[in-house]
Amino acid sequence: MKNRAISLSTLLFSLVLILAACSNSRAPGSSTAGQPAATTAAADPLPSWNDGPAKQAILDFVKTTTDKSNSKFVPSEDRIATFDQDGTTWVEQPIYSQVLFMFDRVAELAPQHPEWKTKPPFKAIVTGDKEAMAKFTLKDIEVLAMATHTGMTTDAFQTIVKDWWAKAKHPRFDRPYSEMVYQPMLELMKYLRDNGYRTYIVTGGGQDFVRTYAQQVYGIPPEQIIGSALDTQYEYNKEGQGILMRDPKLLLNNNGVGKAEDIYLFIGKHPRAAFGNTEGDREMLEYTHASGGASLEMLVLHDDATREYAYGPAQGLPDTKVGTFTQALYDEAKAKGWTVISMKNDWKQIFSWEK
């Protein structure tokens, strides 16, 4: 697999340089376009979606593929839907939640590491030096990632993430991350599941990280989370019981081509529906499109700076290093009949708590 040898840093964190700046942040609470789901018909499985080509594409796909008399019928064992996470099912701006976890974890561990006060790159975080943080190199990020993600058992890491998760809040919206999920995507997941589709998260983020909360947030069990993964090492603890230690070595870089490769590794077949929002989702959508049968490919375009964020650079939206949606990807989508979801126009309500 391409790029399997690269470091963990490139996995999630290659764009962290903008962390300190966070210049894309916008004022919270300025929602105006949101409409409560209750205003739509009770029978509507997608009440947070406005009528339009995106919603219609979903309804048509489900109708077509679950109708036995239709030539595009998809048998239940092949009904697989894969969702990118960051920027597709929840907010990824101003920076990925897992990067915030990494920085919070360094701060938490700092008392046990007095040497970090003077040792880069830890020093920048411990002393709150945003200028230095803005200059982090990929190597710096890799050092930080390995210090926070490896060297413990898999069980211990799970506990660490759960503890962080219980108190972490989004820097702009000041809400727990469980509330930063997109209501239309939750409805879409449920609608697909209600029609026999198995929903998977296929994320560039850490598989173990996402698995700690995915059941709670998305209703998706651990075995249906495919993500970037570190090597583990089987060892014995003092009681002689088998344990798995997290190794500082990347086993799966689940981004770009890695998403197609890992979907095959984990599931053994093409998805029939795939949802993403960046260059890193291109091959997942292509591989879905290549199933040879009916398929649905959708890309979320963040064009709503008021209710969420606006970035591309596709369609003239502001450029970003977090969740880049290029014009080339947009053009490929149009050429191949993939649907681009406009957050501004297609989503009546983005978050469940919107008034």
- The identity of residue 326, as a single letter, is T
Compute the least distance from the CB of residue 264 to a copy of itself, in Å. Answer: 5
Compute the least distance from the CB of residue 177 to a copy of itself, in Å. Answer: 19
**Chain mean position to CA 139:** 23
What's the number of CA atoms in the CB half-sphere (13 Å) around residue 309? Answer: 28
Compute the least distance from the CB of residue 148 to a copy of itself, in Å. Answer: 19
Is the Cβ–Cβ distance between 5 and 154 less than 8 Å? no
Q: Which is nearer to a copy of itself, 89 or 224 (CB)?
A: 224
Positions touching a copy of itself (CB under 8 A) are 1-2, 4, 77, 154, 207-208, 211, 215, 221-223, 225, 229, 231-234, 241-244, 247, 251, 257, 260-261, 264-269, 283, 286-287, 289-290
Taking the C-alpha atoms of residue 308 and residue 172, their distance in angstroms, rounded to an integer, is: 10
Taking the C-alpha atoms of residue 193 and residue 285, their distance in angstroms, rounded to an integer, is: 19
Q: Coil, strand, or helix at residue 252?
A: strand
Compute the least distance from the CB of residue 290 to a copy of itself, in Å. Answer: 4
**Chain mean position to CA 275:** 10
Q: Which is nearer to a copy of itself, 214 or 310 (CB)?
A: 214
| The two three-digit tokens of residue 75, written as one number | 């048998």
Q: Coil, strand, or helix at residue 326?
A: coil
Q: Which is nearer to a copy of itself, 2 or 63 (CB)?
A: 2
**Chain mean position to CA 194:** 22
Is the Cβ–Cβ distance between 61 and 192 less than 8 Å? no
Element (H, E) at 235: strand 225-236
Q: Which is nearer to a copy of itself, 179 or 231 (CB)?
A: 231
Element (H, E) at 63: helix 53-65
Among 104, 192, 215, CA closest to 149: 104
Q: Which is nearer to a copy of itself, 173 or 266 (CB)?
A: 266
Q: What is the CA radius of gyration of the chain?
A: 20
Is the Cβ–Cβ distance between 323 and 313 less than 8 Å? no
Residue 38, burial from CB neighbour count under 10 angstroms (0-12, 13-18, 19+): exposed
Compute the least distance from the CB of residue 37 to a copy of itself, in Å. Answer: 28
Q: Which is nearer to a copy of itself, 129 or 286 (CB)?
A: 286
Peptide bond into 313 cis (omega under 30): yes
Q: Which is nearer to a copy of itself, 181 or 260 (CB)?
A: 260
Give the Cα-Cα-Cα angle 196, 79, 272 (nearest 5 degrees). 140
Taking the C-alpha atoms of residue 16 and residue 123, their distance in angstroms, rounded to an integer, is: 16
Backbone angles phi, psi at 170, to 5 degrees: -70, 135
Q: Which is nearer to a copy of itself, 128 or 219 (CB)?
A: 219
Q: Which is nearer to a copy of itself, 2 or 139 (CB)?
A: 2
Compute the least distance from the CB of residue 183 to a copy of itself, in Å. Answer: 25
Compute the least distance from the CB of residue 202 to a copy of itself, in Å. Answer: 13
Q: Which is nearer to a copy of itself, 36 or 221 (CB)?
A: 221
